[in-house]
Amino acid sequence: MEKSNQTKQQTIIEYNAPRPINLGDVFYVIIRGKTTHFREPCKVCNDARKLTINGVTFDCPCCGKTNETITVAPYVVRRVRVYSMSVQTSNDEWKPSDIRHVKVGLYHKEGHGYGGYFSNNFSRELNIDEFTKLNPIPPDDAVSQYSRFTEYAIYDDYKKAVEVADDLTDREIKILSNYNIEHGTDYKAAFTETHDKKSN
């Protein structure tokens, strides 16, 4: 029997970050939760949702087809676990490159088994640069349609993540309140999603 010439090898991934990152580590991200859509009152039934013609009552066929006026959503904390770390270098030239691109794979999971039983499982890959800005504070425009803050924000401080998520949700409620004042509406958002608990 031939003796195996396989021996354990090691490749070192170097990166700049305020702390080490290891497979299995838990971090926290903030996601925009389920969106609540508000529409103009139905022009046929004025949002009664029912019509009665010749003594027959039926569901209004036009409800939900008016113009959307405003959408709001809560921001919720999700715990994620590091499942991959990878490094790439440039292949523009034959000469070895000093450039290194390090990426960290993160996943969120609920339920059991390969696919889980819930629809809010997800994975995300972040450049290592995002980890140099751990526990960021959102900019003033973080709830505008142009902001991508929550796509890249990463936290190892659970309390800070919850604080930021709650602040972003409060901004959404403020936007809705201002809209109501401006347009004479009385829209109310009933957000029910909750933050993940802190991981042990």
The string of pLDDT tens digits covering residues 149-167 is 999 999 999 999 999 999 9
Q: Rounded mean pLDDT of 114-133?
A: 80
pLDDT reading at 32 higher than 80: yes
Instruction: Specify the pLDDT at position 113.
Output: 57
- CA 157 – CA 131 distance, rounded (Å): 12
CA atoms of 70 and 78, how far apart (whole Å): 25
82 CB contacts (<8 Å, ≥6 apart)?
A: 21, 22, 23, 24, 25, 26, 27, 104, 105, 106
Q: Measuring CA to CA, how many Å separate 3 from each of 8, 9, 10?
A: 15, 18, 21
CB 167 within 8 A of CB 149: no
Across the chain, what does the average pLDDT equal?
87
Residue 182 pLDDT? 87
Reply yes or no on whether the pLDDT at 123 is more than 60: yes
Residue 89 pLDDT class (50, 70, 90 cuts)? very high
**Which residue in the block uniquely carries the two structure tokens 């270098």?**
89
CA trace torsion 161, 164, 170, 172 (10° rounding) = -90
pLDDT at residue 121, as a whole number: 86
33-79 residue pLDDT tens: 998 888 777 767 876 778 888 888 888 887 766 566 788 999 999 99
Burial class (CB in 10 A: 0-12, 13-18, 19+), 29: buried
Percentage of the chain exceeding pLDDT 90: 52
Residue 24 predicted with pLDDT over 90: yes
Rounded to an integer, the average pLDDT of 109-123 is 68
